[in-house]
Chain A
Amino acid sequence: GQQVMQIPQYQHVQEGEDFTTYCNSSTTLSNIQWYKQRPGGHPVFLIQLVKSGEVKKQKRLTFQFGEAKKNSSLHITATQTTDVGTYFCAGARTSGTYKYIFGTGTRLKVLA
């Protein structure tokens, strides 16, 4: 079945350093979403990417959808302690689907 993998599984960075997590799907995706889960909390929707090669920015966060629509990345510039949490991608194989397959997640720890 469809699998969505994320790397790295864990990442520790010094505050101010950049961070990137990568999401790879075994199948072509219709669209991809990104979520952030703070420690002890629930996932919160960040963004959705639909178009091949699409790039979106939210302040220090940059999201990219691969040309082949099988991979995506989230880059955080100059991390802050508030960025701590687990970042998940979630991919849909078809548009209008009811089901998204979540990636394995990348847990980010920011050292002050």
Chain B
Amino acid sequence: SQTIHQWPATLVQPVGSPLSLECTVEGTSNPNLYWYRQAAGRGLQLLFYSVGIGQISSEVPQNLSASRPQDRQFILSSKKLLLSDSGFYLCAWSGNYGYTFGSGTRLTVV
């Protein structure tokens, strides 16, 4: 069966520090992968999606970037975090039964 792993679960980072969040998928090949952000008590905002290695589409201009170095690995990065980058970051892959989300990373920028 397909599983998705996302880490870390929580992260507190100072303003201006770099960020790297990793997501890996098991049990499927060539998945469509996504990064979403959820502000506290809000909906989900699509940040990036990828349909294959090295193929990244950005949905909104922002302080973040994404990379897909391997088929089942998706990385969200920032060189310098802003306070506004705080939120709940969710990785997901899409299959026949909707999105399957990772457990998420709760990022607080202080």
Contacts and interface: CB of A to CB of B under 8 A. Distances in A.
- The answer to whether A binds B is yes
B61 interface: no
Contacts of B101: 42-44
Given A42-B104, A43-B90, A98-B51, A88 B98 contact: no
Interface of A: 33, 35, 41-45, 48, 88, 90, 98-105, 107
A74 B109 CA distance: 36
25 contacts: A33-B99, A41-B103, A42-B101, A42-B102, A42-B103, A42-B104, A43-B90, A43-B99, A45-B98, A45-B99, A48-B97, A88-B44, A90-B98, A90-B99, A98-B32, A98-B49, A98-B51, A98-B57, A98-B94, A99-B49, A102-B44, A102-B45, A102-B46, A104-B42, A104-B43
Contacts of B59: 99
Nearest to A10: B41
- B interface, over-half SS: strand
Interface of B: 32, 36, 41-46, 49, 51, 57, 59, 90, 94, 97-104
Contacts of A45: 97-100
Given A45-B97, A98-B51, 14 more contacts: A33-B98, A43-B90, A43-B101, A44-B101, A48-B97, A48-B98, A88-B43, A98-B32, A99-B49, A99-B59, A102-B43, A102-B45, A103-B43, A107-B41
A34 to B, nearest CB: 9
A33 B98 CA distance: 7
Contacts of B98: 33, 35, 45, 48, 90
A53 to B, nearest CB: 21
B99 A100 contact: yes
A101 B28 CA distance: 24
Contacts of B43: 88, 102-105
